[in-house]
């Protein structure tokens, strides 16, 4: 039995079958759908799992219960990766009460066309006593990731159950650092809602939290301070470092030659954190996460059909719809005739808050020449200051 604290048992599952999480995010190491059982005089189960894993999850719950019956199913988040088995649970345990908030039950009825027989509707800050030792407190966290999301705090174990927050891609049995896949997950699914995440962080700051138990990825205990700090940065759109991301597309290799030369110039100027991303060939959600990681970004692309090369236009849209801001931006365009990509990229980015555009941009006419090399050098100098 996987006890994460005294009388708190993990009953989630690993999904190694999924190719794209939410149909968008490639997850080569799968993903976990976490669920927990909390024991006291009464027993609460925290969330269900994805539709494909109902039988495995119910078996895990049954094993953890050891012949007992659960009293509550707490639904912290209605996205189907966590709620798909609510009615399977109700069939297995017909006397259990499903706990949610007003929005939870609206969504439950939308998804399933019916409501559970026994329900308990809670409000923000409301508590639910399980017995002599445990009282759960519900902390609403709207838009982290959906409007009905709520966290649950267990004062006895000092565990904060955080729904999607502090989750990551990757099944629990994969060996990889938390930050990279947590960043890609966070920026991808809640990057747009930084203000709401900051509001949730403020609400939980008064709680004595020793451990965070998300619905994806590992329970966080020893590294909680560092993870919290990253969440403060990500939700505040604060770069993690002053590195330079060079995001590019290149049709025949000439734009790629330019960005490789820019990287070399930046290295010669003493910058070590310079990262090239071919946004066609690199995972797009990784590129988006990297753009939010570094303080400086250079967009390099060609003019195509009198517009921006399509992948670059889509990439910039993925950033702007996630409230991309607080960065230094450099622009490189390539065009054999009538280049307009730099002007159009700038127009797409101009509504972003607090972007500082480098004064030196680079215009390549088909291939690098002395003039465009000099422009690259000027851009490298400006980014190195």
Q: Which stretch binds ligand FEO (CB under 6 A): 76-84, 101-109, 118-126, 222-230?
A: 76-84
CB of 83 vs ligand FEO, minimal distance in Å: 9
Q: Distance (Å, rounded) from C-alpha 341 to C-alpha 333? A: 6
Q: Taking the C-alpha atoms of 321, 342, 247 and 356 in order, what is their torsion angle to the nearest 10 degrees? A: -70
- Residues whose CB falls within 8 Å of the CB of residue 334, separated by 6 or more in sequence, listed in order: 250, 254, 255, 258, 300, 301, 302, 303, 341, 364, 365, 366
Select the residue whose beta carbon is closest to ligand FEO and give its number. 79
Q: Which stretch binds ligand FEO (CB under 6 A): 36-44, 77-85, 195-203, 278-286?
A: 77-85
E strand or H helix at 9: strand 8-10
The correct pick among 15, 47, 71, 81 for binding ligand FEO (CB under 6 A) is 81
Burial (CB count within 10 angstroms: exposed 0-12, middle 13-18, buried 19+), residue 4: middle
- Would you say 79 or 154 has its CB closer to ligand FEO? 79
- Is there a contact between 308 and 341 (Cβ–Cβ < 8 Å)? yes
CB of 315 vs ligand FEO, minimal distance in Å: 23
CB of 22 vs ligand FEO, minimal distance in Å: 8
The correct pick among 5, 8, 14, 77 for binding ligand FEO (CB under 6 A) is 77
The reply to whether 215 sits near ligand FEO by the rule CB under 6 A is yes
CB of 194 vs ligand FEO, minimal distance in Å: 16
CB of 236 vs ligand FEO, minimal distance in Å: 21
The correct pick among 216, 293, 322, 327 for binding ligand FEO (CB under 6 A) is 216
The reply to whether 148 sits near ligand FEO by the rule CB under 6 A is no
The correct pick among 145, 156, 168, 293 for binding ligand FEO (CB under 6 A) is 145
- Is there a contact between 329 and 297 (Cβ–Cβ < 8 Å)? yes
- Is there a contact between 62 and 88 (Cβ–Cβ < 8 Å)? no
The reply to whether 164 sits near ligand FEO by the rule CB under 6 A is yes
Q: Distance (Å, rounded) from C-alpha 151 to C-alpha 155? A: 13
Contacts with ligand FEO in 247-276 (CB under 6 A)?
Answer: none
Q: Which of 156, 221, 220, 152 lies closest to 182, judged by CA?
A: 220
- Would you say 190 or 312 has its CB closer to ligand FEO? 190
Q: Taking the C-alpha atoms of 15, 152, 5 and 27 in order, what is their torsion angle to the nearest 10 degrees? A: 20
E strand or H helix at 80: helix 80-83
- Is there a contact between 45 and 37 (Cβ–Cβ < 8 Å)? yes
CB of 170 vs ligand FEO, minimal distance in Å: 13
CB of 51 vs ligand FEO, minimal distance in Å: 13
- Would you say 82 or 322 has its CB closer to ligand FEO? 82
CB of 110 vs ligand FEO, minimal distance in Å: 15
- Residues whose CB falls within 8 Å of the CB of residue 311, separated by 6 or more in sequence, listed in order: 249, 279, 280, 301
The correct pick among 40, 72, 73, 82 for binding ligand FEO (CB under 6 A) is 82
The correct pick among 15, 40, 79, 333 for binding ligand FEO (CB under 6 A) is 79
CB of 185 vs ligand FEO, minimal distance in Å: 9
The reply to whether 47 sits near ligand FEO by the rule CB under 6 A is no
| Backbone φ and ψ of 23, nearest 5° | 75, 5
- Would you say 143 or 355 has its CB closer to ligand FEO? 143
Q: Distance (Å, rounded) from C-alpha 102 to C-alpha 268? A: 59
Q: Which stretch binds ligand FEO (CB under 6 A): 75-83, 129-137, 203-211, 285-293?
A: 75-83
- Residues whose CB falls within 8 Å of the CB of residue 190, separated by 6 or more in sequence, listed in order: 143, 144, 145, 164, 165, 196, 197
Q: Which stretch binds ligand FEO (CB under 6 A): 74-82, 270-278, 281-289, 351-359?
A: 74-82
Specify the length of the chain in residues. 385
The reply to whether 40 sits near ligand FEO by the rule CB under 6 A is no
- Using CB under 6 A, list all residues that contact ligand FEO: 77, 79, 81-82, 145, 164, 215-216
């Amino acid at each position: 039995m996987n006890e994460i604290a005294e009388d708190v048992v993990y009953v989630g599952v690993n999904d190694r079958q999924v190719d794209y999480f939410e149909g968008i995010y490639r997850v080569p190491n799968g993903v976990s759908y976490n669920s927990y059982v909390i024991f006291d005089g009464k027993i609460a189960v925290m969330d269900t799992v994805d539709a494909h894993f109902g039988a495995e999850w119910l078996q895990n719950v049954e094993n953890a219960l050891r012949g007992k019956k659960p009293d509550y199913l707490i639904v912290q988040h209605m996205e189907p990766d966590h709620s798909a088995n609510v009615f399977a649970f109700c069939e297995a345990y017909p006397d259990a009460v499903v706990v949610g908030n007003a929005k939870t039950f609206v969504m439950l009825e939308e998804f399933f066309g019916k409501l559970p027989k026994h329900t308990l509707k809670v409000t923000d800050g409301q508590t639910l006593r399980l017995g002599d030792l445990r009282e759960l407190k519900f902390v609403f966290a709207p838009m982290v990731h959906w409007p009905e999301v709520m966290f649950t705090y267990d004062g006895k174990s000092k565990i904060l159950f955080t729904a999607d927050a502090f989750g990551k891609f990757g099944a629990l049995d994969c060996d990889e650092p938390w930050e990279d896949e947590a960043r890609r997950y966070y920026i991808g699914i809640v990057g747009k809602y930084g203000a709401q995440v900051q509001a949730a962080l403020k609400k939980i700051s008064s709680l004595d939290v020793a451990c965070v138990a998300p619905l994806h990825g590992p329970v966080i205990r020893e590294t909680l301070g560092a993870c919290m700090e990253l969440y403060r940065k990500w939700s505040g759109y604060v770069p993690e470092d002053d590195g330079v991301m060079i995001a590019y597309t290149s049709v025949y290799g000439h734009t790629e030659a330019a960005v490789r030369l820019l990287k070399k110039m930046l290295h010669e100027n003493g910058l070590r954190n310079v990262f090239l991303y071919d946004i066609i060939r690199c995972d797009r959600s990784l590129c988006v996460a990297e753009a939010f990681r570094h303080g400086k970004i250079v967009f390099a692309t060609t003019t195509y059909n009198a517009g921006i090369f399509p992948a670059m236009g889509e990439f910039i849209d993925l950033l702007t719809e996630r409230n991309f801001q607080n960065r230094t931006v450099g622009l490189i365009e390539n065009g054999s005739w009538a280049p307009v990509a730099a002007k159009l990229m700038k127009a797409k980015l101009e509504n972003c808050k607090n972007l500082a555009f480098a004064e030196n941009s680079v215009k390549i006419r088909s291939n690098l020449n002395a003039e465009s090399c000099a422009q690259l050098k000027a851009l490298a100098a400006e980014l190195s200051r």
